[in-house]
Amino acid sequence: MKQRKLSRRSFLATGARIGMTGLSLSASSLLLQGFDFGDLGSTLQQATKLADSATKSFNAVSKALEDITPEQEYYIGRTIGAIVLSKYKPYEQKASNRYLNLLGQSLARFSDLPELFDGYHFQILDSTEINAFATPSGMVFVTRGMLHCCAHEDALAAVLAHEIGHVQLKHGLQSIEKDRITKATSILAIEGTKNFAKSDIANLTSTFEDSINDITSSMINNGYSRSFENEADAAAVTLLKRVGYDPAGLIDMLQIMNKKLKPGGLDFAKTHPSPESRIESLKKLVSGAGAQAPQVAQQRRFETALKEV
Amino acid sequence: MGELLTVQVRDCQIRTKPSFLGAVLATVHYGDRLSSVQTKDSWVKVSFSGAKQGWIHISALTDKEIVLHPSARQVSQSASSDELALAGKGFNKQVEEQFRQQNSQISFTWVDKIETYHVSQKEIGQFLEAGDLKPAGGAA
């Protein structure tokens, strides 16, 4: 079947599922056009009409996100990265960040969304709080506290794969109120240039600030919905299996996190579903309670890179 | 077949096979137009530089035309068109600059630094091999 739209929006997890149904139904409606099928035909046409309207409403929802090009995602993500780094200090040690990027960028290449405007980048934050964030542009932050929940490379790969999942599923962008996107994308450059008029730039910057606030308030302050977290966990399991990591590493990490999290804490405890409930959901996707013994070379490089963290 | 597609990321590679482990044939840039020959899963076979062909991941491409330096006519067309997009529309560098002027307490120094972290194709290959990882999608 020929894919009509090649935009990245077709990779939205839910979008891809609904979108595919939509595509096959649209194809059947095209076939029906211009033919007289009698009673059977009219029943079919009616059914197709219903399916088409479902496709249309899906398209209307995804249309707003589709208007955000990778270039715009990049500028949104840069500012969110800067806000994260105004709240957390970067951990500057080169070897550990280098290792994090080798692991993260290797994983990202096998994700459903490997190509971003400026690619994926990974950075450790100098905080004992247990947390991790990903900007819509693919800048992934992991705290030292989160690294302490990882006993091996399979577990750390799981943390990064979960964050890549949030990027690939556009969870950050979905936090933006839809009318802001419409407002932003309807303001166009001055004819013949790539620049905006002064009044337009003021409007656009204020919409930009509002959009950034929408994202940071769910990403940093309140956390995503439980269903977004479960979707990111499921995307992580798929990615880990694809690359060859043991997805049970995610369960290992959650078990350590469960012991370390302080009830009522302001970090992961506040913004994520409990590790126990995530483990419960993961059991449907992962066989075995924990990862196999880690591969020797993997364990050596993991310990060497993170020994001072 | 033969559909024209546009590169929607800053730059990306055309490879010998539909996998990130495939050898790099060429690098293409934002706004470049490529003609599709065939698709396989999430990969598109494109023709480039005349008779050459290679594979590029679908997430790097859009079926819209991206206009880097639009004419007056293209600007007005883009408002109602699903086929045309202007580079730099909506949130762009100019908007970031304005935001930074208004929020001078937020520093972008580290964001710029983190964006310089690059890992090469060769380094990824070595990392996977040393870790005994064999991703689905084939070896190099």
Q: What confidence category does residue A250 fall into, taking pLDDT thresholds of 50, 70 and 90?
A: very high
Please give the pLDDT value at position A112: 95
Question: Is the complex ipTM more than 0.90?
Answer: yes
Residue B68, pLDDT > 90, answer no
Residue B98, pLDDT > 80, answer yes
Global pTM value: 0.84
Residue A222 or A242, more confident: A242
Please give the pLDDT value at position A221: 87
Lowest mean pLDDT among A190-199, A283-292, B25-34: A190-199
Q: Is B81 on the interface with A (CB under 8 A)?
A: no
What integer is the mean pLDDT of A187-202? Answer: 67
Residue B83, pLDDT > 80, answer no
Q: Is B7 on the interface with A (CB under 8 A)?
A: no
Q: What confidence category does residue A12 fall into, taking pLDDT thresholds of 50, 70 and 90?
A: very low
Chain A hits for B79, CB-CB cut-off 8 Å, are: 186, 188
* Tokens matching residue B47: 């023709």
Q: B4-7 and B33-40 as β-strands: parallel, antiparallel, unpaired?
A: antiparallel
Chain B hits for A90, CB-CB cut-off 8 Å, are: 110, 114
Residue A31, pLDDT > 80, answer no
Please give the pLDDT value at position A139: 98
What Cα–Cα distance (Å) separates residue A91 from each residue in A98, A105, A126, A239? 12, 19, 4, 27
Question: Residue B114 and residue B99: Cα distance in Å, rounded?
Answer: 20
Residue A231, pLDDT > 80, answer yes
Write the residue in A5, A86, A115 that is nearest to B60 by C-beta: A115
What integer is the mean pLDDT of B63-71? Answer: 82
Q: What confidence category does residue A55 fall into, taking pLDDT thresholds of 50, 70 and 90?
A: very low
What proportion of chain A, given as a percentage, has pLDDT over 90?
Answer: 57
Please give the pLDDT value at position A48: 52
List the domain boundaries for chain A.
10-66, 70-173+221-306
User: B4-130: which CATH architecture?
Assistant: Roll (2.30)
Q: Is B136 on the interface with A (CB under 8 A)?
A: yes
Please give the pLDDT value at position A201: 84
Question: Residue A283 and residue B75: Cα distance in Å, rounded?
Answer: 52
Please give the pLDDT value at position B91: 86
List the domain boundaries for chain B.
4-130
- In whole numbers, what is the pLDDT of chain A averaged over residues? 80
Q: What confidence category does residue A46 fall into, taking pLDDT thresholds of 50, 70 and 90?
A: low
User: How many other CB atoms are there within 10 angstroms of residue A253's CB atom?
Assistant: 25
With CA atoms as reference, the chain B residue closest to A140 would be B114
Residue B60 distance to chain A (closest CA, Å): 5
CB proximity under 8 Å: B 85-114 to A: 85-96, 98-99, 102, 105-108, 110-111, 114
Contact A242 B133 (CB under 8 A): no
Please give the pLDDT value at position A64: 65
CB proximity under 8 Å: B 33-62 to A: 39, 42, 44, 57-62
CB-based contact B5:B48 (threshold 8 Å): no
pLDDT digits (tens, 9 = 90+) for B17-60: 999 989 999 999 999 999 999 999 999 999 988 889 999 999 99
Residue A261 or B74, more confident: A261
CB-based contact A81:A88 (threshold 8 Å): no
- In whole numbers, what is the pLDDT of chain B averaged over residues? 89
What integer is the mean pLDDT of A140-155? Answer: 97
Of A250, A219, A256, nearest in space to A140 by CA: A219
CB-based contact B5:A5 (threshold 8 Å): no
Residue A129, pLDDT > 70, answer yes
Of B68, B14, B67, nearest in space to B36 by CA: B14
Lowest mean pLDDT among A101-105, A176-180, B118-122, B130-134: A176-180
Q: A220: burial class by Cβ within 10 Å (0-12, 13-18, 19+)?
A: middle
Please give the pLDDT value at position A36: 37
Question: Residue B1 and residue B3: Cα distance in Å, rounded?
Answer: 5
What integer is the mean pLDDT of A217-228? Answer: 90
Q: What confidence category does residue B107 fall into, taking pLDDT thresholds of 50, 70 and 90?
A: very high
State the Cα torsion A198-A203-A207-A210 to the nearest 10°.
100
Residue B55 or A55, more confident: B55
pLDDT digits (tens, 9 = 90+) for A160-189: 999 999 999 999 999 998 888 777 766 655
